């Protein structure tokens, strides 16, 4: 199991994402193309999946797209940005993904922007 797979406790295959969001699978592919979501191939069968915490209350986490864009601009690959989002940070009292879910996107984006320098 890779580092990223061990950091993320729950992965959702794309068909499950479509079901949770109540949209066709093509819409999920569109969200991936728009970088509103990020998926990796995980597990024994290498199925494209997203971290379950990228969804909240039946929707894509609001602050995810902008944060993904900032991390991408900093040169992070999809795997690296998921690792960054799910790695505990003492100064945040948790993980960046948890801070995003709590609505603390400004703080997280500022940190993400500083990674580019």
Per-residue pLDDT tens over the stretch 11-21: 999 999 999 99
CB 95 within 8 A of CB 8: no
pLDDT of residue 1: 53
Rounded CA separation 24/86 (Å): 28
pTM for the structure as a whole = 0.92
Checking if the pLDDT of 37 tops 60, the result is yes
Q: Are 81 and 69 in contact (CB under 8 A)?
A: no
**E strand residue ranges, 1-117:** 11-13, 40-42, 47-51, 55-56, 59-60
Q: Over the stretch 38-89, which tens digit does the pLDDT of each residue have?
A: 999 998 999 999 999 999 999 999 999 999 999 999 999 999 999 999 999 9
Q: Mean pLDDT, to the nearest integer, of 8-37?
A: 97
pLDDT over threshold 90, residue 112: no
pLDDT(110) > 60: yes
Q: What is the pLDDT of residue 86?
A: 97
The length of the chain is: 117
Spatial distance between the Cα atoms of 21 and 60, rounded to a whole number of angstroms: 8
Residue-range domain boundaries for the chain: 3-114
Torsion of CA 33, 47, 55, 32, to 10 degrees: 0
What is the layout of strands, in order, in the sheet containing 11-13? 11-13, 47-51, 40-42
């Amino acid at each position: 199991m890779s580092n990223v797979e061990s950091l993320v406790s729950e992965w959702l295959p794309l068909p499950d994402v479509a079901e949770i969001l109540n949209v066709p699978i093509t819409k999920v592919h569109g969200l991936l193309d728009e970088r509103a979501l990020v998926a990796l191939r995980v597990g024994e069968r290498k199925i494209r999946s997203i971290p379950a915490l990228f969804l909240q209350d039946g929707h894509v986490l609001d602050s995810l797209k902008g944060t993904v864009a900032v991390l991408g601009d900093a040169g992070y690959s999809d795997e690296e940005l998921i690792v960054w989002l799910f790695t505990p940070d003492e100064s945040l009292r948790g993980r960046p993904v948890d801070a995003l879910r709590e609505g603390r996107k400004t703080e997280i984006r500022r940190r993400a922007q500083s990674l580019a320098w």
